Amino acid sequence: MNRTVLSRRWLALAILVGAFAGVGAFTFGYAEGFSYLFDDPAACANCHIMRDQFDSWRKGPHHAVAGCGDCHLPAGFFAKYWAKARNGYHHAMGFTFQSPRPDLPGERKVFEEPIRIKPFNWRNLQQNCLRCHGDLTHDLVRGATTGEDAVSCTHCHRAVGHEARR
């Protein structure tokens, strides 16, 4: 008696968990979740916000030598996936919970538009400029490379990656 009840419960539970797993897997696939684990720059335009950045990168000077991640993610394996996870979390939260009509009075602004790079990602970016161009620029960029008084490469070379800011 007890056994049958238990196994019936197991069955019900298995159906529920299976449904969850199925819907979850489909959602993950539909949202192109796997693309975020790899390096194809197209993944960065999945959520449409960085469409202009992506388009102008394709026409920009670095498109043949560096993709999004080459400049925007740290080089080491763990640091890279930590940065992917951190940025992915913020982007997903911001994109999902943005206001559908951000202009209406009293609407909360989840993120700035045009989007702007924040200190964590700017440090990664700067390090990546120097990773390739350091030999050429080490006379310019002495001492701290990411501190307050560092010479920021993209301050002048704004368009090397992508011109669009919108």
Partner 1 sequence: MERRALIRSAVPFVLVGLGTAVATGLVAALLMNIFERKQEAKNPYLKLVELTEDDVDPKKWGVNWPRQYDGYRRTEEASATRYGGGLIGAEGGLPPQKSDKHPWLKRIFAGYLFAVDYRDRRGHAYMLKDQEVTRRNLPEEAKQSGNCLHCHASVMPLYRKLGREALPQGSPREQIVAGLEKVGAMNYWDAHKLLAETPGGAHPLSCVDCHDPDSMELRVTRPGFLQAIEKLAASDADVPHLPSIARWRAGNRSASYDPNRDGTRQEMRSFVCAQCHVEYFCGKGMTIFFPWSRGLKVEEIEAQYAEMKIDGKPFKDWVHAETGFPEYKAQHPEFEVWSQGVHARAGVACADCHMPYKREGALKISEHWVRSPLLQVSRSCGACHPGSEQELLERAHAIQDRHAALLDRAGAAAVEAIDAMAALRRQGREGDPRLAEIDQLQRAAQWRLDFVAAENSMGFHAPQELARILGESIDLFRRAQILALKQTL
As a three-state string, the secondary structure of 16-84 is: HHHHHHHHHHHHHHHCCHHHHHCCCHHHHHCCCCCHHHHHHHHCCCCCCCCCHHHHHCCCCHHHHHHHH
When asked if residue 121 is in the footprint of partner 1 (CB under 8 A), the reply is: no
Q: Which of 3, 4, 37, 48 binds partner 1 (CB under 8 A)?
A: 48
Closest Cα partner for 79 from 120, 31, 20? Answer: 120
When asked if residue 119 is in the footprint of partner 1 (CB under 8 A), the reply is: no
Cβ atoms of 46 and 35 closer than 8 Å: yes
Query: 3-state DSSP call for residue 15?
Result: helix
When asked if residue 88 is in the footprint of partner 1 (CB under 8 A), the reply is: no
Number of residues that bind partner 1 (CB under 8 A): 33
Q: Which of 4, 77, 78, 101 binds partner 1 (CB under 8 A)?
A: 101
When asked if residue 42 is in the footprint of partner 1 (CB under 8 A), the reply is: no
When asked if residue 11 is in the footprint of partner 1 (CB under 8 A), the reply is: no
**Residue numbers at the binding site for partner 1 (CB under 8 A):** 2, 5-6, 9, 12-13, 16-17, 19-20, 23-24, 26-27, 30-31, 47-49, 51, 95-96, 98, 100-103, 112-114, 158, 165-166
